[in-house]
């Protein structure tokens, strides 16, 4: 029992050793703190000395910055730093922070509102390159549509008539006439709106029957002038141009004379009045001629050249 009450040497020595070690290190820590403060003060004094400033100025004025930049480029330091930032996600965070800052938003607003940016956008959008690109894209988009429409109309022509393939059938000519009717309606509407605007300045056209008569005469003049002018000069109307067909004299090439174009326009009106029955002969004629062609001595052929 007496031996069990004695303190063990293994239990008491570590506590005494730690106390002694701590007492021995404490002065060293105090000295290190004091010397660190003195070293920081000394370093600040050295760096703020005029001699150090002159040394740095001479170093920066010499070839050192260029050599440093060349070394950075040679060893791909910038690329490695950027790759490391991208791999760690720090680059994305920095960019998001920079873009979301009020200064960045204010800078973008000022840039977009500046006269220089407005002039640059106007030159870029209104430049010949952009206009040419838009025109080429529009033409490239419409070409398949036009070719598909022409081919479909030709297929219907061949099913409805056994005439030689050089002569345009009733389907192609019907689509062309529909397009021309839309064009005439647009021109008539614009002309009527212009006349109405001018007439409103003097109180309008009175009486009403006179306004209706003038409108009917205007439609007649525009229609006759439209077909006669295009047939006698270009050999085709815009609708016929779209469908790739052309009207020509029955036994010769070339465009129609003005007199023959007027006769064909008159025959076209006769063919339309009885519910378009004047176009039925084109289903049976050997050259797909309709009433306007019999009246003017013409034929309509396929011609997809511009």
Residue 37 confidence (pLDDT): 62
Residue 190 confidence (pLDDT): 92
168 and 64 in a common domain = no
Q: Which residues pair with residue 62 across a beta bridge?
A: none
Residue 112 confidence (pLDDT): 74
Q: Which residues pair with residue 247 across a beta bridge?
A: 300
Region of residue 260 (phi > 0: left; psi between -120 and 50: alpha; otherwise: beta): alpha
Closest CA to 181 of 276, 291, 71, 296: 276
Q: Is residue 120 part of a domain?
A: no
CA 274, 277, 278 angle in degrees (round to 5)? 95
235 near 244, Cβ under 8 Å? no
163 near 193, Cβ under 8 Å? no
283 and 229 in a common domain = yes
Q: Is residue 170 part of a domain?
A: yes
285 and 165 in a common domain = yes
Of 86, 101, 116, the residue at which a domain comes to its end is: 101
Q: Which residues pair with residue 167 across a beta bridge?
A: 301
280 and 139 in a common domain = yes
175 and 253 in a common domain = yes
Residues 6+ apart with CB under 8 A from 130: 124
Domain hosting residue 192, numbered range: 132-302
145 and 65 in a common domain = no
Q: Is residue 291 part of a domain?
A: yes
Residue 92 confidence (pLDDT): 77
Residue 288 confidence (pLDDT): 94
Compute the Cα dihedral for 51, 53, 54, 59 and give only its sign: positive
Cβ neighbour number for residue 298 with a 10 Å cutoff: 23
Of 82, 101, 120, the residue at which a domain comes to its end is: 101
Q: Is residue 109 part of a domain?
A: no
Give the integer Cα–Cα distance in Å for 160 and 169: 8
Written in H, E and C, the secondary structure of the chain is CCHHHCCCHHHHHHHHHHHHHHHHHHHHHHHHHHHHHHHHHHHHHHHCCHHHHHHHHHHHHCCHHHHHHHHHHHCCHHHHHHHHHHHHCHHHHHHHHHHCCHHHHHHHHHHHHCHHHHHHHHHHHHCHHHHHHHHHHHHHHHHHHHHHHHHHHHHHHHHHCCCCCCECCHHHHHHHHHHHHHHHHHHHHHHHHHHHHHHHCCCCCCCHHHHHHHHHHHHHHHHHHHHHHHHHHCCCCHHHHHHCEEEEECCCCCCCCHHHHHHHHHHHHHHHCCCCHHHHHHHCCCCCCCHHHHHHCEEEEECCCC
Q: How many domains does the chain have?
A: 2
**Average pLDDT per consecutive 10 residues, the chain (306 residues; last block may be shorter):** 46 50 53 59 66 73 76 77 77 75 76 74 65 57 84 93 91 96 94 82 74 83 95 95 93 87 95 93 93 95 82
Query: pTM value?
Result: 0.56
Residue 57 confidence (pLDDT): 76
Burial tier of 256 (Cβ tally within 10 Å: 0-12, 13-18, 19+): buried
266 and 141 in a common domain = yes
Give the integer Cα–Cα distance in Å for 252 and 227: 20
Q: Is residue 115 part of a domain?
A: no
140 and 33 in a common domain = no
209 near 216, Cβ under 8 Å? no
Of 47, 81, 101, the residue at which a domain comes to its end is: 101
Give the integer Cα–Cα distance in Å for 187 and 5: 125
Helix pair 64-74, 50-61: axis angle to 10 deg = 60
273 and 143 in a common domain = yes
């Amino acid at each position: 029992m007496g031996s069990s009450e004695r303190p063990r040497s293994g239990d008491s020595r570590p506590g005494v050793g730690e106390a002694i070690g701590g007492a021995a290190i404490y002065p060293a820590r105090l000295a290190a703190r004091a010397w660190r403060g003195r070293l920081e003060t000394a370093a600040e004094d050295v760096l703020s000395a005029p001699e150090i400033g002159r040394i740095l100025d001479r170093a920066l004025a010499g070839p050192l910055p260029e050599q440093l930049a060349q070394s950075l480029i040679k060893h791909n330091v910038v690329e490695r730093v950027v790759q490391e930032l991208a791999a760690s996600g720090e680059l994305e965070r920095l960019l998001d922070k920079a873009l979301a800052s009020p200064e960045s938003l204010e800078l973008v607003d000022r840039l977009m509102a500046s006269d220089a940016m407005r002039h640059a956008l106007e030159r870029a959008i209104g430049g010949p390159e952009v206009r040419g690109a838009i025109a080429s894209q529009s033409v490239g988009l419409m070409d398949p549509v036009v070719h598909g429409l022409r081919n479909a109309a030709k297929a219907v022509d061949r099913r409805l008539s056994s005439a030689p393939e050089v002569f345009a059938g009733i389907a192609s000519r019907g689509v062309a006439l529909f397009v021309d009717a839309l064009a005439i309606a647009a021109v008539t509407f614009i002309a009527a709106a212009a006349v109405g605007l001018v007439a409103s300045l003097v109180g309008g056209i009175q009486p009403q029957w006179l306004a209706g008569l003038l409108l009917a005469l205007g439609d007649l003049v525009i229609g006759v002038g439209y077909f006669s002018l295009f047939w006698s000069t270009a050999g085709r109307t815009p609708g016929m141009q779209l469908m790739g067909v052309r009207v020509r004299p029955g036994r010769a090439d070339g465009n129609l004379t003005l007199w023959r174009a007027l006769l064909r326009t008159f025959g076209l009106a006769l063919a339309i009045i009885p519910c378009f029955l004047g176009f039925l002969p084109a289903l049976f004629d050997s050259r797909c001629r309709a009433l306007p062609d019999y009246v003017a001595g013409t034929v309509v052929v396929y011609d997809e050249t511009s």
